[in-house]
Amino acid sequence: MSDPWQKAYDFAVEVARKAGAEIRKAGESEIRVMTKSSTVDLVTKTDERVEKIIIGALKAEFGEGTHDFIGEESVAKGEACILTDKPTWIIDPVDGTTNFVHGFPFVAVSIAFAVNKELEFGVIYSCLEDKMYKARKGKGAFCDDDPIQVSDVKDIHKSIIISEHGTDRSKEKVTKIFSTMQRILCIPVHGLRGSGTAATNMCLVASGAVEAFFEIGIHCWDIAAGAVIVKEAGGVLLDVDGGPFDLMSRRMVCANSDVIANRIIKEIEIFPSERDDIAIKKK
Ligand SMILES: Nc1ncnc2c1ncn2[C@@H]1O[C@H](CO)[C@@H](O)[C@H]1OP(=O)(O)O
Ligand SMILES: [Mg+2]
């Protein structure tokens, strides 16, 4: 069996496409139905329904028990967020829920698959743009069927960098986030951007539209698929302190090169974030 995960990969692409169609179809009335959470960390009925569709399809195809599932909405409801050696699907049904609620046109379905704690493939369907990003370990990254590659810009002064504001509105964290952004902007760089979805941001790095994306506060389901796509497009992933990338740490820098990543890291003001795998969360 030389290629054991090909079927799972092809299936993930199809499931992501179906999930994206469901998101597009969701009517205005449904879009604005919030189901829980704070005033800024939004969840809609569509998030919950689409996650059920994705996990239901994967369980039907690959059998309950043999594979594990880490999904944004299941974890919010108290399921474990621990990566074991078992084949594990890591799913964000609607990445960019705030965009979705407001009709801001970047919303993605993100599906990753890990075995022995190593990411095997990632699929991100940017469903309003109708772009399917995908990558398998060692086999390159693609947008639809075209190979994609990170940008070759190594001069930070000629770069565009992406970051986001996160969901925490405490003055202390917001001050650090804006201070970091100011420091990076004033290096100076060509620009700062943010699409509102970590998955799409990573695809923008992978396809060479920007040189880097960093964030503290994101979760494993926001970045697992993107991590494979960026790496396979020739990019790098690091912790915000310059150490090795850790999927469960809730912080990440991804970039077209070590040079750009390390230049940004110099400016990042780190604030604490609780790990995803610290405990089984009950909300
Ligand atoms: N607490 C948090 N802090 C920062 N980003 C978060 C976050 N929770 C989720 N995100 C994700 O980060 C990106 C924007 O900051 C989005 O991909 C968003 O995903 P979501 O839409 O699935 O919640
Ligand atoms: Mg998300």
For residue 98, give the ligand 1 atom closest to its CA: 21
CB distance 222 to ligand 1 below 6 Å: yes
> How much is the average pLDDT of 30-59?
82
* Judgement on whether residues 160 and 131 belong to the same structural domain of the protein: no
What is the total count of domains within the chain?
Answer: 2
* Judgement on whether residues 12 and 66 belong to the same structural domain of the protein: yes
Task: Please report which confidence band the pLDDT of residue 43 belongs to, taking 50, 70 and 90 as the band edges.
Answer: confident
* Judgement on whether residues 160 and 141 belong to the same structural domain of the protein: no
Residue nearest to atom 22 of ligand 1 (CA): 95
Residue nearest to atom 16 of ligand 1 (CA): 197
CB distance 93 to ligand 1 below 6 Å: no
ω into residue 188 within 30 of 0, thus cis?
A: yes
Cβ count within 10 A of residue 64: 10
Residue 224 falls within a domain, yes or no? Answer: yes
- The pLDDT tens digits of the residues spanning 107-131 come to 999 999 999 999 999 999 999 999 9
* Judgement on whether residues 20 and 110 belong to the same structural domain of the protein: yes
Higher pLDDT, 76 or 248: 248
* Judgement on whether residues 121 and 245 belong to the same structural domain of the protein: no
- Greatest distance between any 2 Cα atoms in the chain: 54
SS3 percent helix, strand, coil of the chain, rounded to 5, is: 35, 25, 40
* Judgement on whether residues 41 and 129 belong to the same structural domain of the protein: yes
| Ligand 2 mean position, distance from CA 1 (Å) | 34
- CA gap 87, 102 in Å, rounded: 35
Here the CATH number for the domain that contains residue 79 is 3.30.540.10
**Given this model, what pLDDT does residue 282 score?**
47
* Tokens found for residue 241: 């302190």
- ipTM greater than cut 0.85: yes
Give the residue carrying structure tokens 């084949």: 87
Percent over 90 (pLDDT), the chain: 85
Find, among 151, 102, 189, 137, the residue nearest to 5 by Cα: 137
Beta-bridge partner residues of 161: 192, 212
Beta-bridge partner residues of 69: 89
Find, among 124, 89, 90, the residue nearest to 107 by Cα: 124
Q: What pTM was estimated for this model as a whole? A: 0.95
Find, among 115, 118, 99, the residue nearest to 107 by Cα: 99
CB distance 164 to ligand 1 below 6 Å: yes
Q: Count of residues for the chain?
A: 283
CB distance 71 to ligand 1 below 6 Å: no
**Given this model, what pLDDT does residue 136 score?**
98
Residue nearest to atom 7 of ligand 1 (CA): 218
| Ligand 1 mean position, distance from CA 199 (Å) | 10
Residue 276 falls within a domain, yes or no? Answer: no
Give the residue carrying structure tokens 């925490």: 168
Task: Please report which confidence band the pLDDT of residue 33 belongs to, taking 50, 70 and 90 as the band edges.
Answer: low
* Judgement on whether residues 76 and 165 belong to the same structural domain of the protein: no
Residue 279 falls within a domain, yes or no? Answer: no
Residue 160 in 3-state DSSP?
strand
Which DSSP helix (H) or strand (E) runs through 191?
strand 191-193
- CA gap 221, 226 in Å, rounded: 9
> How much is the average pLDDT of 29-51?
75
Q: Contact at 8 Å (CB) between 51 and 257?
A: no
Cβ count within 10 A of residue 234: 17
Ligand 1 binding pocket mutation candidate from 101, 219, 220, 283 (most atoms within 8 A of CB):
219
- The pLDDT tens digits of the residues spanning 131-143 come to 999 999 999 999 9
**Cα torsion 238, 242, 243, 247: sign:** negative
Residue 40 falls within a domain, yes or no? Answer: yes
> How much is the average pLDDT of 253-270?
98
- CA gap 118, 115 in Å, rounded: 5
**Given this model, what pLDDT does residue 1 score?**
53
